[in-house]
Structure 1
Amino acid sequence: MADKDARSSKATDGEGSRNGEMDKQWIHNPNRCADEYLDGINQFIDFAIANNCVRNGMMETYTTWNHHGEQIQYVSSSDTTRVVDTVDFVMDPNDQIMNIINDVFPTASSNTIVEVEDDIPLTMDSESLKKYEKLLKSAEQKLYPSCEGFSMLTAIVELMHGKPKFRMLNQCFDYFFGVFKRMLPNDNCLPKDHKSEKKVLSGLELGYEKIHACKNNYILFYKENKALDKCPVCNELRFKMTSQNRRTKIPQKVMCYLPLKPRLQRFYMSMHTASDMRWHKDRQVDDDVMRHPADGEVLERV
Structure 2
Amino acid sequence: MASDRSWISRSRYNESRYLTVEYKNGVDDFIKFACENLRGGSDGLIRCPCGNCKNKHYKNPIAVKLDLYRYGIMQWYTIWTAHGEKMPEENIGTSTRNVGDGDVDMYYDADDMLRDIGEANRYCEKMDDEPNPAAKEFYKMLHSASEPIYPSNVNYTTFEFVNELLHFKNKHNCSNNGFDELLKLIGSVLPDNHKLPQTYYAVKNMLKGLNLGYEKIDACENDCMLFYMENSEKTRCDICNESRYKEPKDLNKKKISRKVLRYFPLTLRLQRLFMAGKTAKCMRWHHDRNVVEGELSHPADGDEWKQFDHRFPKFSKEIRNVRLGLFKRDSKCETRPFH
TM-score interval (norm. to shorter): 0.5 to 0.7
- Deviation at residue 175 of structure 1 after TM alignment: 3.4
Q: TM-score, normalised by structure 1?
A: 0.58
Post-superposition offset of 1:169: 4.2
Going from structure 1 to structure 2, the CA distance change for 1:82 and 1:186 (only over 3 Å counts) comes to: closer
Deviations 1:178-202 (Å, cap 9, x if unpaired)? 3212222444332222222111111
For 1:101, the equivalent position in structure 2 comes to 114
Mapped to 2, the partners of 1:189 and 1:227 lie a distance apart of: 43
Using a 3 Å threshold, how does the CA distance of structure 1 residues 97 and 261 change in structure 2: closer, same or farther?
A: closer
Structure 1 segment 151-162 matched on structure 2, within 5 A: 151-162=157-168
Cα 1:277–1:151, aligned 2, differ >3 Å: closer, same or farther?
Answer: closer
- After TM superposition, the score normalised by the length of structure 2 is 0.52
1:81 maps onto 2:81 in alignment: no
Name the CA distance, whole Å, in 2 between partners of 1:218 and 1:260: 23
Distance 1:255 1:80, change over 3 A: same
Residue in 2 aligned with 1:36? Answer: none
Partner Cα separation in structure 1 for residue 288 and residue 105 of structure 2? 21
1:211 has 2:217 as partner:
yes
Q: Which moved more, 1:126-135 or 1:263-272?
A: 126-135
Counterpart secondary structure, 2:124: coil
Alignment of 1:262 onto 2:275? no
Separation in 1, partners of 2:286, 2:126: 23
Contact kept in structure 2, 1:212 and 1:251, CA below 8 Å: yes
Instruction: State the identity as a percent.
Output: 34
Alignment pair present for 1:125 and 2:125: no
Q: Distance in 1 between matches of 2:173 and 2:166?
A: 11
- Whether the 8 Å CA contact 1:230–1:237 is kept in 2: the answer is yes
Q: Is the 8 A contact 1:101 1:204 kept in 2?
A: no
Aligned pairs, number:
210
Give 1:214 deviation, angstroms. Answer: 0.8
How far, CA to CA, are the matches of 1:130 and 1:102 in structure 2? 16
- Aligned partner of 2:61 in structure 1 is none
How far apart, in 1, do the equivalents of 2:118 and 2:161 lie? 21
Aligned pairs (5 A) from 1:2-21: none
Give the whole-Å Cα distance in 2 for the aligned partners of 1:212 and 1:113. 45
Cα offset for 1:227? 2.0
Secondary structure in structure 1 of the residue aligned to 2:184: helix
Question: Matches of 1:223 and 1:164 in 2, distance apart?
Answer: 31
CA contact (8 A) 1:215 1:236 kept: yes
Identify the range of structure 1 (256-265 vs 285-294) with the bigger mean alpha-carbon deviation. Answer: 285-294
* Root mean square deviation of aligned Cα: 3.4
C-alpha separation in 2, matches of 1:210 and 1:79: 35
Give, as a single letter, the amino acid of the residue that structure 1 aligns with 2:244. Answer: R
Which residue matches 1:56?
none
In 1, the alpha carbon distance for the partners of 2:115 and 2:190 equals 29
2:204 alignment partner, one of 198, 204, 208 = 198
| Counterpart AA for 1:76 | V
How far has the Cα of 1:124 moved from its partner? Answer: 2.0
Q: Which one of 239, 245, 250 corresponds to residue 239 of structure 1?
A: 245
The answer as to whether partners of 2:114 and 2:146 remain within 8 angstroms in 1 is no
Tell me the residue number matched to 2:179: 173
Give the secondary-structure state (helix, strand or coil) at the position aligned to 2:262.
strand
Q: Is 1:226 aligned to 2:232, yes or no?
A: yes
Structure 2 CA distance for partners of 1:161 and 1:109, relative to 1, 3 Å: farther
Q: Is the 8 A contact 1:102 1:109 kept in 2?
A: no
1:113 and 1:123 in contact (8 A); partners too: no
CA contact (8 A) 2:236 2:243 kept: yes
